[in-house]
Amino acid sequence: MILALVIVLALLVFLALTALGRGWLGWVVAGAIVLAWWKWKLAAAPTPFWTVAAVFGVLALVFGFAPLRRVLFGGLSLKLVGKALPTMSDTERAALEAGTVWWDAELFSGAPRWQRLLDFHVAKMTSEERLFVDEVVGELSKLCVEHEVEARGDLSERAWQLIKSKGLMGMIIPKEYGGLGFTAAANSAVIVKLSSRSVTAAVSVMVPNSLGPAELLLHYGTDEQKKFWLPRLANGSEVPCFALTEPGAGSDAASITSTGTICRGTFEGREVLGMRLDWSKRYITLAPVATVLGLAFKLRDPEHLLGQETELGITCALIPVTTPGVQIGKRHDPLGVPFMNGPTEGHGVFVPLDFIIGGPKLAGHGWRMLMQCLSAGRGVSLPALSVGAAQLAARAVGAHATIREQFGLPIGRFEGVEEKLAKVGGLTYLIDSGRKLTLGAIDAGEKPSVITAIMKCYATETMRVVINDAMDVLGGNGICLGPRNVLGSAYKAIPIGITVEGANILTRTMIVFGQGAIRCHPFVQREMRAVAERDVAAFDAAFFGHVNLVFTNAARGLLFSLGGTKLVGSPTSGAASEYYPRLERLATAFSLCADFAMATLGGQLKRKENLCGRLADALAHLYLGSAVLKRYFDGGAPDREAALMRWAAEHALERAEHALDDFLRNLPNRPAAWLVRALVLPFGRREHGPSDRRHAEVARGLLEDRPERVSLSSDIFLPPASDPGLGRLEAAQAAVLAAQPARNKLKEAAKQKKLAARGSTELLDAAVAAGILSEEERKLVEAAEIARRDAILVDAFTPDEFAARAG
């Protein structure tokens, strides 16, 4: 009995000190407690005690006293661990060093500092930006009726003119160069609104403001290049595109085969030192109408005209499309969504070295430049497009499920439909929360490369789920294309967002965790740097800090598993308070799983893509769950968002835990998997996602134009009632809701046998005659029925009309 108490006491002390980040002290104190008991128990036989005590003391001294540890084991441990660490190519190193780390590092630590997140200020749009979104983007949205754009095969001339004249191609360009100088939040708001109306318009606007000539010039261009190009890009007199993707180089962009060879040649009648370029690119947005081509290629200097190096590496340059040898004009057809996209080729194109972005001194620096720019830009455009589509879906299905009736009830009242509605609403809230938090980080000066990769990948994947579920609710109204169809264009565009800016398969399995494990971990990058520099002192500090982190998270994980979340405080009170410790428990489990993955697999981990993908899933949903809590807190914990917040948080928790469970089931080193499971999931999974009751709460918030629905879809373009798609739905819903009290009177009268079941006209006549309805109420009911029938109609075409659409 006494032994059991001693062991429990030692264990508690060890866990407590380790949980506080004092793993070695926990080891020493716990050992001292056990040794003290042993001395008391074996007082008559002191030799074994002093032998063990001496061994324990030596181990504690050697491993607890850093200078001695470094002398005895520093070189050996550096050599052994160095063999296990993954090797990195120059391109991988450039990608890893791009951008910054932010809240992702807190999650990797296993002990996120919630108050730091809550204290972070997410900047709002300025009044000027808000006015622009409301008026200019609203005006453009009116011009971009997507079924007309698709029939025409392009935006109207008037729409293009507005895009250029109002500066929509220069949102990221500072005002000093004639641009709008918008924040990331405003840039995103423009894309959200446009994408809810026209994917074609949204893509046409977002590409010049994403990774491309303007972004590269702002960060790396010479003063002369900035002064010449940026004003022209800002006012639309120059239309840019950026040519990176090739037939043999998609997600593996570093493997491009386009070449540039430094040589002397004639340009515009004068002999200059320049480059002769050859390329074949595809999938280049705006290429068919571009006037200036941003080009990525591998530059060589075989005659050493620029320096001693022959292979300079990936380089970025600006090439006017009027340069002899440049070929543009052909178009791809991306699933019938007619934004300008096509191939470009160049053969023997000679340009001066001054065409290199940043000038000759930045020759060979293109990959680093691209990675740095992508580290922020990836978090703006495609997440905004995804949120715009999701908000549109939430708005449309809420109206449709209110209007459409079957078996005498609005279809939104059926549990099967409620589940779909809840996913549409909850997932929209989830990715919109992530979008807003990420934009706040970017506008605060961060370039969180791992977080922006998360947002690109998981926002577009979530858009896929939201649109598919919305299509299930819309049924035939979602399938039949035409002016009345609200979601058909968004549905067709899903694979586009999933494919571009790094295909999601590879982003998930190779970038989010593969890059994050090194970039965001508190110690791994420091360990790798110390190994590369053979710095024993730096390696010792990083390695044993890493070991201490593992001990700390093991102790925290066990405490959480034994019910310790009840002992962890929450930085807030109210509806969201329970979710902070639950997310923290899974952050601890994630950190421990990540460390055991790296420890047991070493350099082989990056080839275990399924394992990396599951850890990426966990990290992504921990981030999205954090964003949900942050949004709810920043909004003042509004009642209208409580159900959405709970649904989104519970979904994120379930997805993160599910991913960790799958990771542990598949970790090749089974003893390690059993040990980690015993620490973090000893009783199996505890997060099961939103309940049926939670589904019903969220679903009902999307019906009947409640505040939840209005708030959730507040960023989209709302067309007038004359619009045959969403405008018609909104008008019909208003009519149905206005007539609902009168319809309730009719139902109650029929239930009490005051009215006989007859045709609708006779029933209304009888209701008015009996004084059940007033004449005004009768008109409301009639108008609602007309609007309801009209709203659920789908487009139909004569053979000639259909042939014209297909042609």
Just list the catalytic residues.
Answer: 501
State residue 334 phi and psi, 5-degree precision. Answer: -75, 85
Characterise 328 by phi-psi region: left (phi > 0), alpha (psi -120 to 50), beta (else): beta
Give the whole-angstrom CA distance, residue 761 versus residue 73.
93
Give the whole-angstrom CA distance, residue 650 versus residue 655.
9
Structure-block tokens of residue 315: 């380089």
- Could you tell me where the beta strands, DSSP code E, fall in 523-599? none
Give the side-chain half-sphere CA count within 13 A for 327. 15
Is 415 buried (19+), middle (13-18) or exposed (0-12) by CB count in 10 A? exposed
Structure-block tokens of residue 531: 């190994």
Give the whole-angstrom CA distance, residue 463 versus residue 456.
11
Helix (H) or strand (E) holding 683, with range, is: none
Structure-block tokens of residue 253: 């962009």
Give the whole-angstrom CA distance, residue 680 versus residue 90.
37
Please name the amino acid found at residue 673: A
Is residue 518 within 8 Å of residue 96, measured between CB atoms?
yes
Q: Tell me the sheet residues that pair with 410.
A: 405
DSSP state of 44: T
Give the whole-angstrom CA distance, residue 179 versus residue 240.
15
The dihedral of CA 498, 502, 507, 512: what is its sign? negative
Give the whole-angstrom CA distance, residue 46 versus residue 39.
7
CB contact set of 490 (below 8 Å; sequence gap of 6+):
195, 199, 389, 392, 393, 463, 467
User: What is the residue whose two structure tokens read 């109206």?
Assistant: 399
Helix axes 366-377, 90-97, angle to 10 degrees: 40
Other Cβ atoms less than 10 A from the Cβ of 156: the count is 14
Give the whole-angstrom CA distance, residue 58 versus residue 56.
5
Give the whole-angstrom CA distance, residue 240 versus residue 21.
52
Is residue 433 within 8 Å of residue 620, measured between CB atoms?
no
Pairing between β-strand 240-243 and β-strand 292-300 as defined by DSSP bridges: parallel
Give the side-chain half-sphere CA count within 13 A for 160. 13
CA angle 758, 764, 767 (to 5 degrees): 100
Give whole-number Cα distances, 529 to 107, 273, 524, 633, in Å: 22, 39, 9, 39
